[in-house]
Amino acid sequence: MTTSLFSPMTINGITFKNRIGVAPMTRMSAGDNSIPRKDVLDFLVTRAKNDAGLVYNEAIVTDYASAQGYPGQARLLNQEQVNAWKQVTHKIREYGAVSVCQAFHCGRMAYEGINPVNRVIAPSSIAPKQDNPMTGKPYPVPEEMGQSDMDDVVAGFVETAKGAMAAGFDGFELHCAHGYLLNQFLSAYSNQRTDGYGGSMENRYRFVHEVIAAVRTVIPQDRLLFVRVSNWGIADMDVSLFESKAEWQQMIQLFSQESINAISLSTYDYSAKAFGTDQNMSQITREATKLPILICGKIHDRTTADEALQGSDLVLSGKSMLLNPTWVSEVESAKKLKLYGSDEAGIAYTPTPLP
Ligand SMILES: Cc1cc2nc3c(=O)[nH]c(=O)nc-3n(C[C@H](O)[C@H](O)[C@H](O)COP(=O)(O)O)c2cc1C
């Protein structure tokens, strides 16, 4: 049976009115209080009002020490920040959508001065090969994380999860994608540790397991815990972060043993064949898990959304949701719609309010 984009779905007792969501999008609008600009928060509410079934916020930085990778990122660690997001989740719920808060530690994707205490930490002392487009300079070589760094990072995710729950989010997502810290542990491209956190896939997975286990203790059983994964990173974009379909599926099987509720797959293109096979990422992932799958990457009209849903349970859009406020209803009416490019998405980082 083919699932319809506009049929509801329930995960862990939480019902999504349709299978279309706003992908997590960092807007770099926050001031010193680490709270996004009002129009950036309003944007999320408008998407809920305009029929999105799921609304992610932006990647929330998990501490004041080493987690921040971009200027103007938000945090959810104090009461003022919780209060700001509470109003957003309340309105999203009023419009019948589900809200999920994504949490992020950038790891080696930081640069001098971006974090208040100026530390750059990662599983191994290896910088990305390419220069940082934000600074035009090489990324700094990170410090290899010791046990106390790992404990601090776990605490940052836990405190942020508590903040997200206090702010009324229906769910919490660990950003394990795009070459940021948790992804850096998972991939042998950035993790060359020789202790119990490096080497085999099981070892590289160990730190992520510890984060999931700690975070789950502060997320009530009736709320959602998701992970976002990808085979690519923002830096050194063309590198396949996992070496084969077998290695990817081994990782997905490890995630599937956790107390999580869905796996969100981030791709450049949902339909692209992966790991030299004739299957796309959702087909490869589906073979390895029974968990619900969210898929994102170049889904921009009814045809692509219907097709992407064949291998998944819910589709996410970044750029179409960003740039077209009535995208969901236009998908429903099967209107001819354009595929937006990254240049057009640059408006997300400007002070221009989005409709
Ligand atoms: C402005 C902007 C900010 C983004 N910020 C995040 C982020 O904070 N976390 C994340 O996981 N992905 C982020 N992404 C990636 C999107 O979630 C999505 O995976 C990507 O845009 C591809 O989907 P699309 O083809 O529908 O745009 C961002 C994308 C854009 C355009």
**Whether pLDDT at 250 is above 50:** yes
Give the pairing type, strands 143-144 and 121-122: parallel
Please, where are the H alpha helices in 60-200? 79-94, 147-166, 181-186
317 ligand 1 Cβ < 6 A: yes
CA of 23 to the centre of ligand 1 (A): 6
pLDDT band at 227 (very low <50, low <70, confident <90, very high): very high
pLDDT tens-digit readout, 9-21? 999 999 999 999 9
First to last CA, the chain: 37
Q: Which residue numbers are catalytic?
A: 180
323 ligand 1 Cβ < 6 A: no
Question: CA 164 to CA 92: how far, in whole Å?
Answer: 14
Question: CA 242 to CA 44: how far, in whole Å?
Answer: 33
pLDDT band at 1 (very low <50, low <70, confident <90, very high): very low
pLDDT tens-digit readout, 118-165? 899 999 999 999 999 999 999 999 999 999 999 999 999 999 999 999
CA of 245 to the centre of ligand 1 (A): 24
pLDDT at residue 2, as a whole number:
59
Burial class (CB in 10 A: 0-12, 13-18, 19+), 30: buried
* Three-state DSSP class for residue 65: coil
315 ligand 1 Cβ < 6 A: no
CA of 79 to the centre of ligand 1 (A): 27
Domain 9-349 architecture: Alpha-Beta Barrel (3.20)
Q: Which atom of ligand 1 is nearest to the CA of 58?
A: 8
- Residue ranges covered by each domain of the chain: 9-349
Mean pLDDT score across all residues of the chain = 97
pLDDT band at 3 (very low <50, low <70, confident <90, very high): confident
Q: Quick one: CA torsion of 27, 312, 249, 220, rounded to 10 degrees?
A: 60
Rounded to the nearest 10 degrees, the angle between the axes of helix 38-49 and helix 79-94 is 20
pLDDT tens-digit readout, 25-72? 999 999 999 999 999 999 999 999 999 999 999 999 999 999 999 999
pTM for this structure?
0.98
Nearest CA to ligand 1 atom 5: 25
Nearest CA to ligand 1 atom 16: 318
Tell me what the mean pLDDT of segment 211-219 comes to: 98
Q: Quick one: CA torsion of 138, 139, 140, 141, rounded to 10 degrees?
A: -100
Indicate the top mutation candidate among 22, 26, 178, 230 to test ligand 1's pocket, ranked by most ligand atoms within 8 A of CB: 26
Q: How far lies 43's CA from each of 20, 79, 100, 266, 353, in Å?
A: 16, 22, 15, 22, 8
